[in-house]
Amino acid sequence: MEASQLGVKKISVIEFGVAGGNGLLALEEISQEISRELGIAIDVYGFDTGQGMPPPNDFRDLPHVWEAGYFRMDVPALERRLKVAKLVIGNVTETVQAFLERADIAPIGFVSFDLDYYSSTVQAFKLLEGNHSVFLPRVFCYFDDIVGNDWEHHSEYAGVLLAINEFNNAHTSRKVAPINNLRHKRKIQAAWNEQMYVFHEFHHPAYCRHILPDKNWQLPLVPDRNGSGAV
Ligand SMILES: C[S@@+](CC[C@H](N)C(=O)[O-])C[C@H]1O[C@@H](n2cnc3c(N)ncnc32)[C@H](O)[C@@H]1O
């Protein structure tokens, strides 16, 4: 919606952390449906080492939950299943910078962050430090690793929530913020509603462009019991 309201004809959507590829296949399928519905082209990218989790750095990567080698990918098998999505294989420490330098990337409209580690998410956030041409003024973000099983205990002092806080503290015009009350705006409520955020770049040239479909929003006074008072 954001893209079509801004008149953008092509966007990119990204999954950070692909593992076996089930999430990327789902993202590809949903993107094709939305593309048909809205008449917008959507490029799909999946970033992963291809070899599973790298070693954790320290407590901030929650090594009590994840270990090196978890979630390996069968790259040829996944490539055979993908129709349009492109894999970006390698450690995000290198691949994000190389991606930012490419001239063929349509503005990013959605990112799913599922790299598990604090350190990997910090590297992925470098994408949100790119030039304005790299993304829409508001980018929908899903964070998988801010809740988890009962033994994970995510907090603002480690893991992905820490990476979000540090990013927000380090930037004045770029912020990653939750979508308040999303659950209550949806016909079918689900736990993932709480994991949806928006990346805002307040200084993006298109941030202040008016996007309301109804160009004349009024709230006229309702008639009183005698039928007067209406505009
Ligand atoms: C939980 S899995 C992703 C699951 C996937 N999103 C799904 O829906 O099935 C986390 C993935 O992040 C990847 N990952 C973690 N740190 C990374 C890094 N620094 N560079 C690239 N990939 C990384 C791992 O290889 C792993 O496959």
pTM: 0.95
The mean pLDDT of 127-134, rounded to a whole number, is 94
Q: What domain range includes position 43?
A: 2-201
Give, for ligand 1, the residue of 62, 67, 92, 116 to mutate: max count of ligand atoms closer than 8 Å to Cβ. 116
Residue 213 forms part of a structural domain: no
Residue 206 forms part of a structural domain: no
Give the number of other CB atoms < 10 A from CB of residue 173.
10
Residue 22 forms part of a structural domain: yes
What pLDDT digit, counting tens, does each position of 157-193 carry? Answer: 999 999 999 999 999 999 999 999 999 999 999 999 9
Measured in Å, residue 122 CA sits from the centre of ligand 1 at 13
Q: What H or E segment, with its residue span, contains residue 9?
A: none
Residue 98 forms part of a structural domain: yes
Domain count, the chain: 1
Q: With 60 as the cut, is the pLDDT of residue 230 above it? A: no
The minimum-distance atom of ligand 1 relative to the CA of 92 is 20
| DSSP states of 193-221 | GGGEEEEEETTSTTTTS---SSS----PP
Residue 212 forms part of a structural domain: no
Give me the numbers of helices (H) and strands (E) for the chain, helices first please.
7, 7
